[in-house]
Amino acid sequence: MKWKKVLISALMLSVIMTGCGGAKGSQEASKTESGAAAEDESSTKDSDTAKQEPEEKQTRTVKDSAGREVEIPAEVESIVCLNVSTLRYTCYMQAQDLVIGVEDYEQEKSISRPYNYVNYDLFADIPVIGNNGEHYLESIIETDPDVIMMSAYDDADVDGIQSKTGIPVVLVPGSDEMMDEGAYETFRIMGEVYGKEERAEELTKYMDTVKKDLESRTKDVKEEDKPSVYVGGVSYKGAHGFEGTEAGYGPFKAINAKNMADETGQKGPFNVDLEQVLAWNPDVLFVDFNGLDLIKEHYSSNPEYYSQLKAVEEGKVYSQISFRSSASNLETALADTYYAASVLYPEQFSDIDPAKKADEIFNTLLGTDFYETLKENGYEFRQIQIGQE
């Protein structure tokens, strides 16, 4: 029986040793698991910290037309445009793809604003962030652009809008004329903001080329050899009849034309006394298409008035395609200039086909031919027969 006791003792010892080994292994395993858990927890905390502390975006500073130094993202990927001219010039800059919010009137397709007509599909369904004169700050915040571009028209409270939205606002001068310093400065600032300096330089050089071409062809024409000229039906803040004209009319000014409205001492568009037009009795008349219906109405009730104008009697009445709609459309104004020049100075502009020149201009500024589209919509360069239209 002794051998049985020895065997039982040996077995018990084996069980005890196994239990001790298992406990120790369990403790070591527990320590390992605990360590791993701690590492996982630490890793998770590190990950959470990384999420809570996103990498800070690179920025740069630009100076706007008000002399403000504005901090903007190093790479601008989205914008909204406030006030007239801003979206138009953004399209000239070939930066329309950056636009993620527009003012409400831009969601109505308008042939009078070629930049809108050409890019309508881009603007039709994006958020509305204002109207012509009112800015929807909550909508701007929700749209969350990198930069707000704003022209110096109407309410240009750039600091207030920037403070209320927390979004950088860059002011540009815009332009209601043709090739003035406002246009040049707008291209320069937009080129810097959009990272499109080459495009800004291209447009600037093109305008310089056009200015030099027009000036070189007309500067030596003697004053006594220039026909006197009047433009009626000029659009500004809506349509006007024959009395609607403009001193310093861009297309005439660029070709040194003898614009009778300049003799009044007025500046910009205004309504002239129709008796004064009879007194001037200009050699050539131009009519803005947007005022043509009102002129036809006036003719129907007062045909004798127009019969006293020698330009009407001699068939020297010509069209101007309306270029002012929510400020001036540069491309249309330039096209009008070459057409007016071909009428007033046929010898100096004998090599110019106004329709082809118009498409060159449209292609340069908008990237597409557009004259035929205008023609299909009733706007073209042609003789006007008042009373027979």
Report the C-alpha gap between 66 and 278 in whole angstroms.
45
Query: Of all helices (H) and strands (E), which one includes residue 60?
Result: strand 59-63
Q: Please tell me the class of the 59-204 domain.
A: alpha beta
Q: Say which residues have a Cβ less than 8 Å from residue 302's Cβ, sequence separation at least 6.
A: none
Report residue 6 as tokens: 């020895």
Q: What share of the chain is helix, strand, coil (3-state, %, to 5)?
A: 50, 15, 35
The answer to whether 105 and 133 are in contact (CB under 8 A) is no
Burial 29-61 (b: 16+ CB within 10 A, else e): eeeeeeeeeeeeeeeeeeeeeeeeeeeeeeeee
CATH number of 213-376: 3.40.50.1980
Alpha helices in the chain (DSSP H): 2-52, 86-92, 114-118, 120-123, 137-143, 158-165, 181-194, 197-218, 250-253, 274-280, 292-301, 303-307, 310-313, 330-344, 354-366, 371-376
The answer to whether 368 and 117 are in contact (CB under 8 A) is no
348 in helix, strand or coil?
A: coil
Q: Where are the domains of the chain?
A: 59-204, 213-376
Report the C-alpha gap between 83 and 149 in whole angstroms.
9
Nearest CA among 303, 304, 164, 324 for reference residue 244: 324
Q: Which residues of the chain have pLDDT under 50?
A: 1-47, 49-51
Report residue 293 as tokens: 């219906």
Confidence at residue 133, expressed as pLDDT on a 0 to 100 scale: 78
Burial (CB count within 10 angstroms: exposed 0-12, middle 13-18, buried 19+), residue 108: exposed
Own/partner long-range contacts of 306-311 (Cβ < 8 Å, ≥24 apart): 306/386, 306/387, 308/278, 308/281, 309/277, 309/278, 309/281, 309/282, 309/285, 310/281, 310/283, 311/281, 311/282, 311/283, 311/284, 311/285
Confidence at residue 68, expressed as pLDDT on a 0 to 100 scale: 96
174 in helix, strand or coil?
A: coil
Report residue 76 as tokens: 């601008």
Residues in the chain: 389
Burial (CB count within 10 angstroms: exposed 0-12, middle 13-18, buried 19+), residue 190: buried
CA dihedral 2, 3, 8, 12 (to 10 degrees): 100
Query: Of all helices (H) and strands (E), which one includes residue 73?
Result: strand 69-73
The answer to whether 255 and 337 are in contact (CB under 8 A) is yes
pTM of the model: 0.84
Report the C-alpha gap between 29 and 177 in whole angstroms.
82
- Strand 317-320 with 268-271, pairing: unpaired
Confidence at residue 20, expressed as pLDDT on a 0 to 100 scale: 40
CA dihedral 85, 89, 91, 92 (to 10 degrees): 140
